[in-house]
Structure 1
Amino acid sequence: MTAFEEPEPHVRAKISTTVHAWAATFVTTSPFVVVASSGADGYADASPRGGPPGFVRVLDDRTLAIPEEPGNRLVQTFRNLASHPAIGLLFLVPGMNETARINGTAEVVRPGEPGWERFRTEWTHSDRLAAVTVVHVAECYYHCGRASKFSGLWDVDRILAHRQNPPLPRRPPRAATSASDAVPVWNGTGHTPRCKRSEPRC
């Protein structure tokens, strides 16, 4: 770590052990969060979660709840948390360069298990949830918007151009097993359709 200078005091000071008012508002405004976890074998995973703004609930200033709908059934996050409960969350709000980061530990609560009853009516679609990930907050902080600015993440012209002419297909034409397989063979233009209930899980 000798290549990096120590952070300025004001940078250290922004790390809170609770979900303060700014972070709580950010979470309840956010429709998208990246969930990072790692297993006992040391391998890490980052998985997206999305829903209406505020789909992640702030239960109190030290606890969040993430609704878990059935997904691709690979359940990497669940497997990781079962053996290594550490979790990292990165919340995004469309159009805002700043992000909110929350780290801590988590437990997965499934229907019928102790603690499930409190979540049974928390979301309008609670009846179809596979589980709820309950996050116990250890660190919470604001992250400046430099990365978003440098990347032009919310550049409206670029977003519109990609919607009109997607730069790659919505998914690979077949499972990529090598670097050559990963090169998409596609020359289509225009919109790609959204996933339908009848389609295979992503």
Structure 2
Amino acid sequence: MKILILGANGKIAQLVREMLATKHVSLRLFLRNASRIENIGDNEEVIEGDATNFAAITRALTDVDIVYANLAGQNIEAQAKNIVRAMTTANKKRIIWISTLGIYDEVPGDFGKWNHEMLDGGYLETYAAAANVIETSPLNYTIIRPAWLTNQDEVNFELTQKGELFNGTEVSRKSVATLVTEIINNPTRYTNQSIGINKPGTDGPMPAWY
């Protein structure tokens, strides 16, 4: 199985790489600056490119089974549109898309107000628009909406579905990477679902570490 990782230098993407290093998969690592990738494994290849470039994404999709998008930026909606177009043209279906909490106004209470204060004004709106592009596409998607991220060396998470109130305030990047890896290893899990991920017992008006 071949996995295309878009935004392969991201912290979560790097953890996914580590978790898949001993698996019987091959990884195609796509990022804007290929020199940032170190310690390339035997099961890995690196492609330099921009996610808004249709030709670059189309080339990167050759022989790919699953796309895992770990992207960011003010142009995230344009990236989503280009990826959907390229995958549809190439007849590729399965995508795992990292988004953020709050795109459906699903975060309740004081934490929800704080989250809006922190993310409104360009971030939350663009991520919501990008998620809508993915959800209304013909792709077989899983959208993952993490709580505020930590670098804790732990795997401890719970999930919520779209339409449910978001739980907790934080989650480790390692937990998110574990969920991504579980889906890659079991591609029929969470198909056409948007799921929130948080660490249990972290409710509050803001992340405890903030």
TM-score relative to the length of structure 1? 0.23
Q: By percentage of residues, which structure has more helix?
A: 2
Q: By percentage of residues, which structure has more strand?
A: 1
TM-score relative to the length of structure 2? 0.22
